Amino acid sequence: MTVEMFLGIDGGGTNCRARLVDADGTVLGEGRAGPSNTTLGIDQAFGEILKAAYAACDQAGLDKSTFSHTHAGFGLAGLPDGRDRNRLLNYPHPFASLAVNTDAHTACLGAHGGRNGGIVIFGTGSCGYAILEGRGHNVGGWGFRLSDHASGAWVGKRAVQAALQSFDGILPPSTLAEDIMAEFANSAEQAVIWAETARPVDYGAIAPKVVSRAESGDALARNLMLQAAEEATHLIQAVAAKGVAQIACLGGFFKYLSPWLPDKINHLLVTAKGDPLDGAIRMARNAQAEGNTNV
Amino acid sequence: MTVEMFLGIDGGGTNCRARLVDADGTVLGEGRAGPSNTTLGIDQAFGEILKAAYAACDQAGLDKSTFSHTHAGFGLAGLPDGRDRNRLLNYPHPFASLAVNTDAHTACLGAHGGRNGGIVIFGTGSCGYAILEGRGHNVGGWGFRLSDHASGAWVGKRAVQAALQSFDGILPPSTLAEDIMAEFANSAEQAVIWAETARPVDYGAIAPKVVSRAESGDALARNLMLQAAEEATHLIQAVAAKGVAQIACLGGFFKYLSPWLPDKINHLLVTAKGDPLDGAIRMARNAQAEGNTNV
């Protein structure tokens, strides 16, 4: 008799993680590989996914032939439309079955153990997502240019803008503004040159400085954190308005943002039950239970 | 005896204008040519400047030999540092003398007839400038990425961002948001794709829609105009804080912004006495009076 196994993949722009579990959910092995954001191309994404999967298989002390009776679930960043999803599902793979969705979907499945619920991710970017009776609803998360409010990159960019305004006397003096302008050798021109190639992650790197200066009472920094908290509140309330009563906030920036959130949204916030890999495994399990070899 | 003449140039990113006057200030001719922003390269900028100058000379019915006793003043966009200024001054030119500065400097000279005073330009971008005892002081105007608050592009970008938030239920419904999302065929993905290549002028084109919806009472549009007015007030006050009592607001977006400004800054605002070409001519005249052949 063949023992069935389940593989979860959490593929993002920074790295790809894999977790292999048995039918009881016992973790057999985990693995990690490079970025598997689908915007990098399906070949690249699939290559890193398989690397991470093989690493998990190795750690479990199992042979690659295990995959012929392993049901896989991929939660992938950069999967905005059905086109990429179909190309992934039709890509030759070694698994018994394959289910694919966005990383937000698997994170939400993991956070609420498959029940109705919502998440808001506050990382370098931001994004809200709700699952209601199995259906996903997206809120925000349209990227740094137009969206990603209350994210680390959003706070960092507004801090650089405000630092320049303070430097020019448009806003009052501020220790945060002085810190930031010192990084640019107190030259607005240097800030402008830096901004020409700055990526969201570069702006995100400035956010901890804002948090720290806000904690020590700088008015500009406090104001930026209060604005971020207001935007975060709007995002959380918009996810709730999709019809979910419980929302888990995820992402590296949330721990900084959390103390600034208003009490009125406390009743909505819960701790995540599981991580995105748990969600990806749950998706694989559901697909297998429904008898879909490719979902 | 040689009759001295004066030529003013206002060179921007869209076009270059020239005005030729006699010693009494009587306008003899005007001309126009293509963009002469110095960031396009000195050769390109100088080529368009000479085209506009020759057109003014033609209109005056004068020969090009006139330039050997014409004192020229160039106010040029994209002239942020001394390097370009020196290269321009050392470029072979047909004039009796040449003075060069930024377009903000000549606009400020023109607006206040050479006296102490400030300007704030609210166009596609925004920029403040003050002249105090002949010395220029810059406020803001560091470009669309980090600065240009309260400009047409700034209002347009915030409107697109807010429209997406309204579309996602993060902000309340709004006729402005509906107008904007209709332009993107009610698709957030289309807005994201558009934003990948949108220039400041593309965002600026959305600003009149915000103005019109604000006038008809849409809460989101009103809020955006009030935020723009607050940022504009900060800019105007920061220019005043350089030590000037009178500020002229210029640029195509100012007429829309003006009704939203708070009364408390009314005492600072004056109408411009002359235009940037008047300022460029005044600069040429001062340079000649001071006996500097190249200033």
ipTM: 0.89
pLDDT (0 to 100) of residue B218: 98
- What is the per-residue pLDDT across B261-294, written as a single tens digit (0 to 9) for each? 999 999 999 999 999 999 999 999 999 988 755 5
Task: Kindly determine whether residue A145 and residue B242, on different chains, have CB atoms separated by under 8 Å.
Answer: no
CATH number assigned to the domain comprising residue A218: 3.30.420.40
Domain count of chain A? 2
Touching A: B residues 157-186, CB under 8 Å: 160-161, 164-165, 168-171
Task: Kindly determine whether residue B164 and residue A147, on different chains, have CB atoms separated by under 8 Å.
Answer: yes
Q: Which of B171, B169, B147 is nearest to B159 (CA)?
A: B171
pLDDT (0 to 100) of residue B290: 82
Q: Could you write out the DSSP letters of every residue in chain A? A: -PPPEEEEEEE-SS-EEEEEE-TT--EEEEEEES---GGG-HHHHHHHHHHHHHHHHHHTT--GGGGGGEEEEEEETT--SHHHHHHHHTS--SSSEEEEEEHHHHHHHHHTTTSSEEEEEESSSEEEEEEETTEEEEES---TTT--TTSHHHHHHHHHHHHHHHHTTSS---HHHHHHHHHTTT-HHHHHHHHHH--HHHHHTTHHHHHHHHHTT-HHHHHHHHHHHHHHHHHHHHHHTTT-S-EEEESTTHHHHGGGS-GGGGGGEE--SS-HHHHHHHHHHHHHHTT-SB-
Instruction: List B32's β-bridge partners, or say none.
Output: B17
Same domain, A187 and A98: no
Instruction: Please report whether residue A182 resides in a domain.
Output: yes
Same domain, A88 and A195: no
How many Å apart are CA B102 and CA B259, to the nearest integer?
29
Q: Sorting pLDDT into bands at 50, 70 and 90, what band is A77?
A: confident
Q: Sorting pLDDT into bands at 50, 70 and 90, what band is B117?
A: very high
Same domain, A100 and A160: no
Same domain, A164 and A263: yes
Task: Kindly determine whether residue B143 and residue A192, on different chains, have CB atoms separated by under 8 Å.
Answer: yes
Candidates B144, B170, B174, B194: best to mutate against A (most CBs of A within 10 A) is B170
- In this complex, the residue of A145, A171, A192 whose CB is nearest that of residue B146 is A192
Both tokens assigned to A142: 């349209």
Instruction: Please report whether residue A118 resides in a domain.
Output: no
A130–chain B nearest CA distance, Å: 12
B152–chain A nearest CA distance, Å: 16
Average pLDDT over residues B170-181: 98
Q: State how far the alpha carbon of A16 is from the alpha carbons of A34, A120, B24, in Å.
A: 6, 20, 75
Enclosing domain of residue B14: 5-113+274-289
Average pLDDT over residues B233-246: 98
Q: Which of A127, A124, A46 is nearest to A91 (CA)?
A: A46
Chain B residues lying within 8 Å of A188, measured CB to CB: 142
Task: Kindly determine whether residue A81 and residue B168, on different chains, have CB atoms separated by under 8 Å.
Answer: no
- What is the per-residue pLDDT across B129-162, written as a single tens digit (0 to 9) for each? 999 999 999 999 999 999 999 999 999 999 999 9
Q: Which of A54, A16, A90 is nearest to A295 (CA)?
A: A90
- In this complex, the residue of A80, A170, A196 whose CB is nearest that of residue B234 is A170
- The pLDDT mean for chain B works out to 94
Chain B residues lying within 8 Å of A169, measured CB to CB: 139, 238, 241-242
Same domain, B229 and B187: yes
- CB within 8 A of A259, min separation 6: which ones? none
How many Å apart are CA A205 and CA A141, to the nearest integer?
19
- What is the per-residue pLDDT across B58-115, written as a single tens digit (0 to 9) for each? 999 999 899 999 999 999 987 766 677 888 888 999 999 999 999 999 999 999 999 9
B239–chain A nearest CA distance, Å: 8
- In this complex, the residue of A128, A170, A238 whose CB is nearest that of residue B238 is A170
Is the pLDDT higher at A77 or at A169? A169
pLDDT (0 to 100) of residue A80: 67
- In this complex, the residue of B160, B192, B241 whose CB is nearest that of residue A169 is B241
Cβ distance A37 to A13 under 8 Å? yes
Touching A: B residues 57-116, CB under 8 Å: 80-81
Instruction: Please report whether residue A126 resides in a domain.
Output: no
Same domain, A237 and A199: yes
pLDDT (0 to 100) of residue B1: 53
Instruction: Please report whether residue B123 resides in a domain.
Output: no
Distance of CA B216 to the CA centre of its chain: 29
Q: State how far the alpha carbon of B141 is from the alpha carbons of B127, B235, B253, in Å.
A: 4, 10, 15
Same domain, B242 and B220: yes
- In this complex, the residue of B149, B188, B234 whose CB is nearest that of residue A142 is B188
Cβ distance A208 to A225 under 8 Å? no
How many Cβ contacts (< 8 angstroms) between chains A and B? 82
Instruction: Please report whether residue B42 resides in a domain.
Output: yes
Instruction: Please report whether residue A133 resides in a domain.
Output: no
Same domain, B250 and B280: no
Amino acid at A228: A
- What is the per-residue pLDDT across A206-247, written as a single tens digit (0 to 9) for each? 999 999 999 999 999 999 999 999 999 999 999 999 999 999
Same domain, A241 and A282: no
Residue A76 in this model has a pLDDT that exceeds 80: yes
Residue A1 in this model has a pLDDT that exceeds 60: no
How many Å apart are CA A172 and CA A75, to the nearest integer?
45
pLDDT (0 to 100) of residue B295: 46
B151–chain A nearest CA distance, Å: 15
Q: Which residue in B has a C-alpha nearest to residue A168's C-alpha? A: B139
Average pLDDT over residues A131-142: 94
Instruction: Please report whether residue A77 resides in a domain.
Output: yes
Q: Sorting pLDDT into bands at 50, 70 and 90, what band is A157?
A: very high
Question: Does the beta carbon of A147 lie under 8 angstroms from any beta carbon of chain B?
Answer: yes
Same domain, A68 and A159: no
pLDDT (0 to 100) of residue B211: 98
Same domain, B172 and B224: yes
Instruction: List A16's β-bridge partners, or say none.
Output: A11, A33
pLDDT (0 to 100) of residue A295: 46
Instruction: Please report whether residue B54 resides in a domain.
Output: yes
Chain A residues lying within 8 Å of B146, measured CB to CB: 160-161, 164, 191-192, 195
Q: Please say whether the dihedral angle defined by the alpha carbons of residues B198, B204, B207 and B208, taken in this order, is positive or negative.
A: negative
Same domain, B193 and B264: yes
